[in-house]
Every structure is written in C-alpha cells, then in structure tokens.
C-alpha cells in the first residue's frame, strides 16, 4: 500500500479482517512491529533483528482480542529500534511523518502507530510504553495515549525490552475510541468517574519552560474544573533526577539482558545512539538503586489516594525539529525520560491528553492515576472531551 507518512513497516502487507460484530466492529487498527502477527516476522525496528528471527506462528493475545472484538488490523507500524528511543527516529526505516507538525519528529518509540492514527489512516493503534513510548508520540502528534498500570495487560507475544517496565498501550484521536479499546483490553466497565482530588506536580512543571506551562494553562483549568479539590506540591522530596536515574539504570540493565544473547550471536547493525545505550550499561548496584526505587513507589502510592490523579506535562515541549544533531537533542531526551519516568518507574497508569498547543504544534497534558485506575483515566478523558 502507498505509505506517504512512512508509518508502516516496508514490504509487509498485513491485513486481517476483524469479527463482524463486537464492541470494536467497524474500527481499524495498526500494531507496532513488536506485536506478533501470525505469518509475519516481528521486526522490532531493526533489519538484522528481522533477518535473524522466524515469522510468528500465532497472534499476540491482545491482537487476537482486538480482532475478535471486531477491529480490523490494517498494518504493522514502524518502531524506534528495539523500542529504544523516544523521538521516533529510525535510522534503518526512516522517521515516520508527524502529520500534525510535518517538520518535526513524531515521537517514539510507537512512532508509526502515532503517525498512522494522527494521519487518519486508522482509528487506533497498539503501541508499547517502557519509558514513554506511547505517551510521547501521543503528545507530539496530538493524540490520546494510555500507558496502563504495569502488569495489567500481560506482555505475551510481544518483543520485550525491559519487562519490569514494559506495558502494552494504545493511541487514538478520540477519547471515546480510547475507552472502547479499554473495554476489550482491560475489562467491560470504563465508567465516567468524578475526580476527587487533583495533585499538580510542581517539580514536574519546573522541568518545562514558562512558555510550556502557559500553553498548557487552559487545559489545566479544564481538568481542575472537573476536580472536587486540587493541590500543588512536589512529588519527589529530593529531585526527580534521582528517581529517573535509578529507573533508567534498572531499565537499561534489563534491556541489556533482553538482547545480550542476540547481540553476542549476530553483532547487529544499530544506530549509534541505540548501541551506546547497550554499551554504557554496567552492573546494577542494587544497594544504591533499590532504596530509591522503593521510595519512589511509596511516595507515589501515598499521593495517589483512591479518586485522585497527578497532573503533569507529558513532555518538556512540542516535538523537536527533524534533523538535529545528537548533542542538540540530549537535553530534550533527558527531560523526556525524567517526566515519563514518574509513572513508569512506579508502575502507574498515565494518559496523555491532546489538550495543548504551542508554536502551532501539539502538546500533551498527562494524568497519572493510582495503580489499577486505568479505566478511571479513560473515563475521565471521555468526560473532559464531552
């Protein structure tokens, strides 16, 4: 098929008709190329990975569930290499187009999924989110994107990066569709729920410029208007950097473990930034890391009492321009990891809402919910839209 947005994996003509009836009947979806689809190689965004693996023999359970619920799979989408990227750049297959900001990157790693949805090619798309890979492309492309509670949806049939952080997520242009997918992948009940308490994350907003906060202000007011109560406070008693560093150390260590045998066997070609992340990892000092990780989880659990959400910017700003040097993107990458690590490091659900705009580009606003409150986040997003 023609692919002007470069959203889809080249040379794979995946098309699987969904069941004639069901909650998703009539909808189409695309799946990031880390989901097994029977008969196709799960390519993972790297040609040497694709070349060294056999086609999948069965569908990933979530793909199967969506098909049975009536959605039609129309393609597999480009991912950042081995899901290790946040900007949506793929040195092998090219960067998918950001339809809402064509001179900018789409965000990643669920880059092709976001491009396909934002470009109107499909109703929703499966992504995955380890350190921001659904939320960031949602923010950059002006979409809804959910990272569910860690462990809520089993990771079967997908290429794993760091299983303690990997989650199955999805993106759509419409809060209603987000919720309908939730009824299939989470459970039948996605209720309209009142928000008792909104915690505005002061230290997360400190990571972004005043211009970003100003651009998000109208959206923040809309969220606040639906909350019974709100409070502005710092999430982390020390620095968000501490949480981020501990989380990244553990994630990188797990990612090395996931790919070590393959790298040893095949000496694959990787874009330098991807290779560098593998090469830079040293053994995790659990004595140092674990207390920080525990404090992070405990603090977020303490803040997120039932019926409350934390509000924060999804990303430090709109999508960066295409074609920047590595050194020009490093600070942006660091801040992306830091903001997305707040929910990611604590295993919490987060939804990015396409409610902001800056310099004519989309800008996401995020809500983090208590563990298991995935349906509440989806229901709230729907209410907010209405």
Q: Stretches 135-143, 153-161, 261-269, 311-319: which one binds a second copy (CB under 8 A)?
A: 261-269
Q: Is 2 in the site for a second copy (CB under 8 A)?
A: no
Number of Cβ within a 10 Å radius of residue 35: 27
Phi, psi angle pair for 285, to nearest 5°? -85, 90
Q: Is 226 in the site for a second copy (CB under 8 A)?
A: no
Cα(139)–Cα(312) distance, rounded to whole angstroms? 12
CA 116 to chain centre: 15
Closest CA to 38 of 3, 73, 83: 73
Residues 112-151 that bind a second copy (CB under 8 A): none
Q: Stretches 214-222, 284-292, 311-319, 322-330: which one binds a second copy (CB under 8 A)?
A: 322-330
The interface mask with a second copy, positions 278-317, x = CB under 8 A, is xxx-------------------------------------
Secondary structure class of 169 (helix, strand, coil): strand
Is 133 one of the catalytic residues?
A: yes
Q: Stretches 31-39, 273-281, 353-361, 370-378: which one binds a second copy (CB under 8 A)?
A: 273-281
The interface mask with a second copy, positions 17-56, x = CB under 8 A, is -------------------------------x--------
Q: Stretches 56-64, 87-95, 116-124, 214-222: which one binds a second copy (CB under 8 A)?
A: 87-95
Whichever of 263 and 371 has its CB closer to a second copy, that residue is 263
Is 109 one of the catalytic residues?
A: yes
Write down the catalytic residue from 111, 133, 139, 366: 133
∠ CA 87-351-80 to the nearest 5 degrees? 25
Binding test (CB under 8 A) with a second copy, winner from 220, 223, 270, 355: 270
Whichever of 53 and 299 has its CB closer to a second copy, that residue is 53
Number of Cβ within a 10 Å radius of residue 334: 15
Binding test (CB under 8 A) with a second copy, winner from 137, 268, 317, 344: 268
Is 17 one of the catalytic residues?
A: no
Q: What is the DSSP letter of 237?
A: S
Least CB distance to a second copy at residue 321 (A): 14
Cα(14)–Cα(28) distance, rounded to whole angstroms? 12
Q: Where are the beta strands (DSSP E) in 98-163?
A: 124-129, 144-147
Binding test (CB under 8 A) with a second copy, winner from 154, 272, 306, 331: 272
Listed in sequence order, the residues at least 6 apart from 59 whose beta carbon sits closer than 8 Å to its beta carbon are 36, 37, 38, 67, 157
Whichever of 65 and 91 has its CB closer to a second copy, that residue is 91
Binding test (CB under 8 A) with a second copy, winner from 58, 196, 276, 286: 276
25 to each of 41, 105, 184, 220, 248, how far by Cα in Å? 27, 32, 12, 34, 39
Q: Stretches 32-40, 97-105, 229-237, 320-328: which one binds a second copy (CB under 8 A)?
A: 320-328
DSSP string, 301-346: HHH--TTEEEEEESSSSSPPBTT--HHHHHHHHHHHHHHHHHHHTT
Q: Which residues pair with 231 in a beta bridge?
A: 199
Largest Cα–Cα separation, the chain: 57
Binding test (CB under 8 A) with a second copy, winner from 267, 283, 285, 386: 267
Q: Is 89 in the site for a second copy (CB under 8 A)?
A: yes
Cα(224)–Cα(198) distance, rounded to whole angstroms? 7
Strands 144-147 and 195-201, how do they pair? unpaired
Least CB distance to a second copy at residue 344 (A): 24
Give contact residues for a second copy (rule: CB under 8 A): 48, 89, 91-92, 263-265, 267-273, 275-276, 278-280, 325-327
Residues known to be catalytic: 32, 109, 133
């Amino acid at each position: 098929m023609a692919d002007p947005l470069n959203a889809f994996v080249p040379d794979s003509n995946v098309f699987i008709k969904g069941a004639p009836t069901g909650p998703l009947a009539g909808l189409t979806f695309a799946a990031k190329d880390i989901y097994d689809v029977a008969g196709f190689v799960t390519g993972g965004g790297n040609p040497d990975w694709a070349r060294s693996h056999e086609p999948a023999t069965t569908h990933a359970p979530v793909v199967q569930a969506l098909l049975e619920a009536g959605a039609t799979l129309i393609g597999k989408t480009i991912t950042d290499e081995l899901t290790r990227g946040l900007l949506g750049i793929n040195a092998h297959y090219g960067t998918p187009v950001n339809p809402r900001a064509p001179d900018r990157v789409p965000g990643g790693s669920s880059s092709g999924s976001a491009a396909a949805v934002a470009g109107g090619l499909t109703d929703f798309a499966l992504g995955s989110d380890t350190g921001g890979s659904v939320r960031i492309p949602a923010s950059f492309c002006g979409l809804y994107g959910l990272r569910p509670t860690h462990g809520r949806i089993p990771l079967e049939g997908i290429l794993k990066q760091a299983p303690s952080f990997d989650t199955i997520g999805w993106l759509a242009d419409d809060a209603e569709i987000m919720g309908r997918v939730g009824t299939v992948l989470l459970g039948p009940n996605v209720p309209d729920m009142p928000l008792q308490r909104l915690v505005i994350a002061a230290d997360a907003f400190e990571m972004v410029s005043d211009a970003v906060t100003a651009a998000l202000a109208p959206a923040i007011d809309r969220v606040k208007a639906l909350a019974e109560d709100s409070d502005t406070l710092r999430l982390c008693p020390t620095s968000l950097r501490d949480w981020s560093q501990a989380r990244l150390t553990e994630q990188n260590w797990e990612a090395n473990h996931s790919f070590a045998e393959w790298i040893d066997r095949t000496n694959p070609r990787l874009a330098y930034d991807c290779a560098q992340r593998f090469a830079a990892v040293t053994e995790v000092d659990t004595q140092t890391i674990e207390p920080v990780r525990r404090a992070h989880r405990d603090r977020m659990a303490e803040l997120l009492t039932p019926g409350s959400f934390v509000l924060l910017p999804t990303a430090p700003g709109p999508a960066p321009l295409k074609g920047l040097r590595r050194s020009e993107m490093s600070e942006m990458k660091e801040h992306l990891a830091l903001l997305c690590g707040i929910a990611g490091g604590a295993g919490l659900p987060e939804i990015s809402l396409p409610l902001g705009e800056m310099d004519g580009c989309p800008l996401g606003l995020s809500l983090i919910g208590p563990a298991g409150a995935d349906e509440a986040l989806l229901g709230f997003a729907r209410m907010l839209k209405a």
